[in-house]
Structure 1
Amino acid sequence: MESYSVEKPMPYYDQLYHAIKKMIFDGIYKPGDRIVESRLAKEMNVSRSPIREAIRALEKEGLVIIDDKSRIIVYKPTVKDVEDIYQCRMALEALAVRVAVQKATDEELKQIEETLRLTKSKIEQPHGYDKDEVIRLNEQYHHLIIRFSRNDRLQKQLNDLRSLMFLYRIMNFQGEARDWTIYNQHAEIYEYMKQRNEEEASSAMIRHLTADYQHLIQVLGHSGGPL
């Protein structure tokens, strides 16, 4: 009977959640922008009820804030937020790569290598490339390392930050040669993983995330964000 199964359509609130989230990631809704439920419901041709459900899910992920006047505001990163999240990432991802070095199979390491190969091939496209695809591959690189740690608790803590981390990745891509800088740092981490050198892999991960953090602070300052 499996071939006759019917896939249920995605509920409205779920579709709206993904649509609004993409608008935030694509910069259609910018940090600090206000989202008006009634206007969005009219634009999307839906009732306000699924909009509210979608907004609640986005608020839980930290992508929107409900202020003291019940206005819906797109999350605007502060230096304190960035510092807090990167401190968490450094502690958790340095541990993740250390444990992944111990536990990942050779085949799993090849999956990380393949992600790097695909990233490099995208960046080297002679007529430009899809930046969104490279950002997605960068996320996949980190996700594989976290997954191969086989630490469910660690994965859950990082998953709770996943949406904000992805938003930061988009912002972190601003600047000259950021694609190659990030790729080269990822490649260095992987080389130590391949050597099964957990100490150096962990140190390289911390260096990479520290560099990301410092660059993101500069981006926030350059774009007029709070310092």
Structure 2
Amino acid sequence: MTTVESTTPRKGAPQIERPPSMVQLAAQSLRRMIIGGDLLPGDRVVENQLTKELGISRPPLREALRVLEREGLIRQVSHKGAIVTPLTLHDVYEIVTLRRVLERMAIDLALPVTDGARLARCRSALGAMELAAADDDPAALSEAAFGFHLSVIGLSGHDRLEDTYRSLYLQMLLCMVLNRRARAQRAETPAQDVQRHRRLLELIEAGDPAPVLAELEHHGDRTFIADIADTLDDGSPQARAWLDRLRAEASHEPREPAEPEARG
């Protein structure tokens, strides 16, 4: 009699997790180098240097680059090879304006917040930012900052809105890298970055949409735009007009006071 073994896993059977491959580890390291600002948009990816830094051979490195290319973080350019996906002024214009529309819609739908679990998600995301800042981990801080803003979108209880925001993840992270670099040049510390997000959460908890929307409008993008926009290529007339309008508005606003590094 022939016994046929079932290929269906038994209910409750423990799953054996496979360790990450060399390609996965290399892709993760490269991703963190980009998100953390070690490799900026437009930078050339030098394979010889990376094989030494990561301690791997060329085949897994090249496969890892293909993974990041599929994600949109790496682009292959003729006569240059692999580069970190550059951002044009028009890219920044589209990303920032779309982000603002989505966040405004979320706040309009969410406030005042009546679901304690949704606020708890925001507090947890802020806690992740605090840990990343304490560890002085730029990549983790960028990821945690996105997670915080995603949790703010989640206050709306609108799943499709949150999915749309999440789809901008990698593009927003590239913007955040440049934004964080610009703010660092103005001597903003990671602790002050966290404090800006804490202030936003406090306004959300207060329940009045108007101050929250005003805070989001001046949450940090303007520093980024003012400092690095002129270094970006391919500014469409539409993007240039938007930039000029933002700069004109900023010139009539009082300068933000410095935030304390820690709360008493």
TM-score (structure 1 length as normaliser) = 0.72
Q: Tell whether 2:226 aligns with 1:218.
A: yes
Alignment of 1:161 with 2:168, yes or no, is yes
Q: 1:104 to 1:176 in 2, by over 3 A?
A: farther
Query: Is 1:198–2:231 an aligned residue pair?
Result: no
CA distance in structure 2 between the partners assigned to 1:170 and 1:39 by the alignment: 22
**Deviations along 1:77-135, whole A, 9 cap, x unmatched?**
33222121101110112222333335661243144245546756886x7xxx6153544
Measure, in 1, the Cα distance between the counterparts of 2:164 and 2:150: 13
Question: Which protein has the larger Cα radius of gyration, Structure 1 or Structure 2?
Answer: 2
**Paired letter, 2:99:** R
Select 1:143's aligned residue among 150, 153, 156.
150
Aligned 8 A contact 1:172 1:215 in 2: yes
Output the TM-score relative to the length of structure 2.
0.64
8 Å Cα contact 2:76-2:82 kept in structure 1: yes
- Displacement of 1:26 in angstroms is 3.6
Map of 1:8 onto structure 2: 18
**Deviation of residue 150 (structure 1)?**
2.9
Q: 1:97–1:205: 8 Å Cα contact kept in structure 2?
A: no
How far apart in 1 are the matches of 2:128 and 2:59? Answer: 42
**Alignment partners' CA distance in 2, 1:115 and 1:27:** 21
Task: Kindly provide the amino acid, as one letter, of the partner of residue 160 in structure 2.
Answer: R
Higher percent of residues as helix: 1
CA contact (8 A) 2:44 2:80 kept: no
Selected match of 2:102 from 92, 96, 99: 92
Aligned partner letter, 2:101: A
SS at match of 2:111: helix
| Secondary structure of the structure 2 residue equivalent to 1:65 | strand
Cα distance, 1:178 vs. partner? Answer: 5.5
Q: Which amino acid aligns with 1:138?
A: A
Q: State the SS of the aligned residue for 1:220.
A: helix
Question: Is 1:83–2:89 an aligned residue pair?
Answer: no
Percent sequence identity over matched residues?
22
- CA positional deviation for 1:57: 3.7
Instruction: Determine if the alignment matches structure 1 residue 20 to structure 2 residue 37.
Output: no
Distance 1:77 1:219, change over 3 A: farther
Is contact 1:98-1:198 (8 Å) kept? yes
- Aligned residue type for 2:85: Y
Q: Which amino acid aligns with 1:214?
A: R
SS in 1 for 2:218: helix
Q: Give the secondary structure class of the aligned counterpart of 2:75.
A: strand
Output the aligned Cα RMSD.
3.6
Deviation at residue 3 of structure 1 after TM alignment:
7.4
